[in-house]
Structure 1
Amino acid sequence: MTPERYTKLNQVLDCRQPDLTLLTDQVHKPRNIAALIRNCDAVGIQQMHAVTPAVSHRPFNGTARGSQQWVDLIMHDSVENGVISLQHQGFKVVAAHWSSRSINYTDWDYTQPTALLLGAERMGVSTRGADLADAHVIVPMVGMVASLNVSVAAGIILQEAQRQRAVKGMYEYCRLEELERSRIFFRWAYPRIAEVCDQNGQAYPLLDDIGNLIEPWTHG
């Protein structure tokens, strides 16, 4: 663990936003999933949620450029379960969806616990997802095309969320619980050891004040 890496990991963790997330509704293209993960990392989202698509997908590492190792992907078997689960955790679910109750995406208060719901291209957010959402937002467009690529729309809306949160100083202090922060740090710093520990139900080894293993670790 170099001092530079130790500092970088801590700086990123101190900007994570546990009450901001994204939920996909049947987005199945690997490039889009990977790009959404990258968007999440860029604005400090630690957990991204996704509904298992009818068409299987695999991560597209070329687009994610390694971001998938920094963001946890939580899968749901239906949009209903995903939305309700997040609402029970205190999130307001905001669908990127045109309807009679849609508002400009800049008019939503993203400093409150918010989950952005995004649908697949062409199909958009499902009827069930839209019905369950607490609000609908749109990105105004003046061109010939009727919609944006899902990852582009996510990037635009999440940048607004980041801007609002930055104005309120929400990136100026660590907002993760101490235990969760420690676990994420270890997974980032020592991913192979963490994977083995998770598979075997073992506690992570202890680290010193500069992020090094206190004792040499060997499996078994």
Structure 2
Amino acid sequence: MKDIQLTRYLNYLENFITENRRDTFLRILAQRSRHFTVAIQDIFQLHNTSAVLRTCEVFGVQELNVIEEKMGKTIDKEIALGAQKWVDVNRFASTARCISDLKQQGYRIIATTPHEDSCYLDDFDVTTPFALFFGTEIDGLTDEVLKNADGFLKIPMLGFTESLNISSSAAIIIQHLSGKIRKAEDINWQLTEQQVLEKRIDWAEKSIKDIDFVKSRYIPEEA
């Protein structure tokens, strides 16, 4: 559809949701970002995948990339608490495909690892788009990710423990960098007008009962 047709369709859909819900969508979308994205690689514990999804939603990250090369599972809806409705989840059957896809979109591949050359959170450059990769609870990221990474990132730790649970480390890093891009004056981190329009339609459709019937009653106008 052309933008004008999408706008007309959105106007039609918004007749079936409350003004408060419409305004809530606008408020939240104003804080959504695709300036950075998150990728998780074959996470063993399903609740950790769901927790990362929820973290993305809470801190305004619009996309989560899930690599299911070995662990093909579904999102745990109870733990995600509905976040799967509001965050776009891209699934990949291979790490190589995920990396290739993200690089084609202009993202730097950033491996989160206690690698000796890793950059600390406070020093990390958020100016250009980046994709944060998180590995498995036991083995961390695979060599494939490390070899293709454009940079390495780690959380400063002061105790005896040298690692954090995947959901904990993801929450710390995402929250920190989400705030950092919003404070920067020279970063266009918000969604484009086109992206906002598309998400308003998507979220409206997900909010309407009997949406198939509602869509069937819509008569497109000529642009």
TM-score interval w.r.t. the shorter chain?
Answer: 0.7 to 0.9
Shift of 1:146: 2.2
Question: % of aligned pairs identical?
Answer: 25
Residues 90, 3 of structure 1: alpha-carbon distance in 2 compared, 3 angstrom cutoff: same
**Any conservation in 2 of the 1:97–1:130 contact (CA below 8 Å)?**
no
Q: Deviations over 1:44-73 (max 9, x none)?
A: 111111111413322111211110100011
Query: Which residue pairs with 1:96 in the alignment?
Result: 112
Q: 1:43 aligns with which of 55, 59, 70?
A: 59
Classify the secondary structure of the residue corresponding to 2:37. Answer: strand
How high is the TM-score relative to the length of structure 2?
Answer: 0.81
Are 2:107 and 2:129, in contact at CA under 8 Å, matched by a contact in 1?
yes
- Alpha-carbon deviation of 1:216? 5.1
Query: Aligned Cα RMSD in Å?
Result: 2.7
User: Is residue 45–residue 71 contact of structure 1 (8 Å, CA) maintained in 2?
Assistant: yes
Q: Which residue of 2 aligns with 1:168?
A: 184
Q: Contact 1:50 / 1:75 at 8 angstroms: preserved in 2?
A: yes
Q: How does 1:78-157 map to 2 (within 5 A)?
A: 78-157=94-173
Deviation at 1:90, TM superposition (A): 0.8
Residues 22 and 115 of structure 1 are in contact (CA less than 8 Å); yes or no, is this contact kept in structure 2?
yes
Q: TM-score, normalization: structure 1?
A: 0.82
Q: 1:4 to 1:192 in 2, by over 3 A?
A: closer
CA distance in 2, matches of 1:86, 1:195: 35
Q: Aligned pair 1:178/2:200, yes or no?
A: no
1:189 aligns with 2:194: no
The structural deviation recorded for 1:103 is: 1.6
Higher relative contact order (CA 8 A, sep 6+): 2
Q: 1:86 aligns to what SS in structure 2?
A: helix
Partners of 2:81 and 2:49 lie apart in 1 by 12
- CA-CA distance at 1:162 after TM superposition: 1.5
CA contact (8 A) 1:25 1:129 kept: no
Which consecutive residues of structure 1, in runs of 5 or more, have no partner in the other structure?
198-203, 206-214
Runs of 4+ in 1 over 6 A off after TM superposition: 192-197
Q: Using the alignment, how far apart are the partners of 1:118 and 1:39 within structure 2?
A: 13
Q: Is the 8 A contact 1:94 1:133 kept in 2?
A: yes
Deviation at 1:8, TM superposition (A): 0.6
- Mapped to 1, the partners of 2:200 and 2:150 lie a distance apart of 33
> Which structure features the higher share of helix residues?
2
| 1:77 lines up with 2:70 in the alignment | no
Partner of 1:122, secondary structure, is: coil
2:74 aligned counterpart, secondary structure: coil
**2:50 is aligned with what amino acid?**
A
Tell me the matched-pair count.
Answer: 202
CA distance in 2, matches of 1:112, 1:195: 42
Q: Distance in 2 between matches of 1:61 and 1:32?
A: 12
Provide the secondary structure at the position in 2 that maps to 1:117: strand
Q: Does 1:59 align with 2:75?
A: yes
